[in-house]
Structure formats: structure tokens, C-alpha cells
Amino acid sequence: MENERERFNFIQKTTGLTKKGFAESLGLSKALGYQISTGMLKPSRETLEKLSFIYNVNLNWFLLGEGSPFETEKATIKLLRQEAAAGQGREIEDYAEEETLKLPRSLISPYRPENLQAVYVAGDSMIGEHIYNGDAVIFHPGLTEGNGIYVLSLDTSLLVKRVSFDELPRSVFLISANPAYPPRQISGAELENLRIQGRVVTCVHRV
């Protein structure tokens, strides 16, 4: 199989589903499924994540042709049983219960699972980044610098936001991906209550 179109069709056949049923299982319309299956359209990041999470597809194989089609090993990520708000904020629980989340290893490549954590999302402020209510975001606590999407705490709220750092004057902008939520500038004494928990490296959609 030389390309993503052929690999997409191969996965569909192995599921035993019709083309329409396979597309629907990935949250796609029949038309979008057809476009991917004929090579007219490349799968979105969201579709790739669902291929990996639902069908254990090895994304290195799907995108690069490397390795076997299906994952044989799962990565275990520490899951904090607390929701981070993609909205107005959720109270931080000092002793949040910890569980584990098992994911196909290629979904978190090139990161090591022991260096990652996960938290569920509540709210709709990041829908423009394809992060939806009920999704789990995977974040790296060791990555806390540079603009990007982060899990962060502000005062007593746990949030998922795009963060933009401004050195002069020293301030941070918290940016939602939904026009209903305006950007928020954090500066001065308020910066003392801001903690960057880690950069979001991927997202697992609720199925």
C-alpha cells in the first residue's frame, strides 16, 4: 500500500463495515468518507485520532508506511479525574483522584507515556482547535515554555487555553478558540497566581 488512500480503504475492509458505516464510525459524512477513500481529501487530525483510538491503527504506518497496520502495544497515561475547563474555569482539587488512560502508542509519539498526563475537558471554548466537551487532553508537564495550547491553573481554576507570552510588557494572553470567549490578559500581580501545568500534545475525542 503506497498511500493514505489505500491504507484508509484497507482499514475499512478489515472492520467489515460498509464504506458508509465506516465513515459514520469516524464521525464523517458519507461524502467526506468517499473523498478520503478516493484520495480527494486527506484525513483531518481528528479523523486520524479516531482511527488510532477506535481501531488501534498505527499512525506511523498510516502516514509514513512504517511498521505494521495495527498497534500491538498500548501506552498507559496517568489520568487526573478532574475536569479542566474550556470555558470559565473549574475549581482545582488539591488531591484529584488518579486513574489511567490506555492509548495507542503512536498517538503520543514521540513522547514517552510516563512523561505525560491527561485530564478531561469541560466546556466549548476550544472547539476551534477541535477540543470538545468530554474530550481528554494529553499534556506534557515538562513543556511549559513558548506559545501553544496548555493546561494551566489560574487562582483556583483549571483551564485549557491557547497561551501567548508577551515579554514587553510582561504579560500572558489566554486565548479561546471560540468567539464567544474573549481573550484575557494576565499581568502584574495576577501573574503570581498563574501556573502552567503543561503543553497539550494531543487530544482524545469522546466516542
Domain CATH for 98: 2.10.109.10
- Are residues 100 and 51 both part of a single domain? no
- Are residues 137 and 165 both part of a single domain? yes
Q: What is the CATH number of the domain that holds 55?
A: 1.10.260.40
- Are residues 48 and 95 both part of a single domain? no
Confidence at residue 88, expressed as pLDDT on a 0 to 100 scale: 58
Confidence at residue 104, expressed as pLDDT on a 0 to 100 scale: 85
- Are residues 102 and 56 both part of a single domain? no
**Is the residue at 74 inside a domain?**
no
Task: Map the chain to HEC letters.
Answer: CCCHHHHHHHHHHHHCCCHHHHHHHCCCCHHHHHHHHCCCCCCCHHHHHHHHHHHCECHHHHHHCCCCCECCCEEEEEEEEEEEECCCCEECCCCCCEEEEEEEHHHCCCCCHHHCEEEEEECCCCHHHCCCCCCEEEEECCCCCCCEEEEEEECCEEEEEEEEEECCCCEEEEECCCCCCCCEEEEHHHHHHEEEEEEEEEEECCC
- Are residues 151 and 100 both part of a single domain? yes
**Is the residue at 76 inside a domain?**
no
- Are residues 60 and 90 both part of a single domain? no
The alpha carbons of the chain give a radius of gyration, in whole angstroms, of 19
- Are residues 177 and 96 both part of a single domain? yes
C-alpha 154 chain-centroid distance: 21
Sort 66 into a burial class: Cβ within 10 Å, 0-12 / 13-18 / 19+. Answer: exposed
**Is the residue at 143 inside a domain?**
yes
- Are residues 25 and 109 both part of a single domain? no
Q: Using omega within 30 degrees of 0 as the cis cutoff, is the peptide bond preceding 169 cis?
A: yes
**Is the residue at 93 inside a domain?**
yes
Mean of pLDDT over the chain:
88
Answer yes or no: are the C-beta atoms of 162 and 196 closer than 8 Å: no
pTM listed for this prediction: 0.74
Confidence at residue 46, expressed as pLDDT on a 0 to 100 scale: 86
Could you list the pLDDT tens digit for every one of the 207 residues in the chain?
889 999 999 999 999 999 999 999 999 999 999 999 999 999 998 899 889 888 989 998 999 998 899 987 788 999 987 778 776 555 445 545 678 998 888 888 889 999 999 999 999 999 999 899 999 999 999 898 899 999 999 887 889 999 998 876 689 999 999 999 999 999 988 888 899 999 999 998 876
Chain segment 167-200, per-residue pLDDT in tens = 766 899 999 999 999 999 999 888 888 999 999 9
- Are residues 106 and 172 both part of a single domain? yes
Q: Report the number of distinct structural domains present in the chain.
A: 2
Count how many Cα atoms sit within 13 Å of the Cα of residue 79 in the half-sphere of its side chain: 16
- Are residues 39 and 90 both part of a single domain? no
Confidence at residue 3, expressed as pLDDT on a 0 to 100 scale: 93
- Are residues 46 and 94 both part of a single domain? no
Confidence at residue 95, expressed as pLDDT on a 0 to 100 scale: 43
**Is the residue at 172 inside a domain?**
yes
Confidence at residue 200, expressed as pLDDT on a 0 to 100 scale: 96
- Are residues 127 and 181 both part of a single domain? yes
Chain segment 151-170, per-residue pLDDT in tens = 999 887 889 999 998 876 68
Domain extent for 55:
4-64
CA distances from 123 to 89, 104, 116, 134, 159 (A): 9, 26, 22, 8, 10
Confidence at residue 204, expressed as pLDDT on a 0 to 100 scale: 87
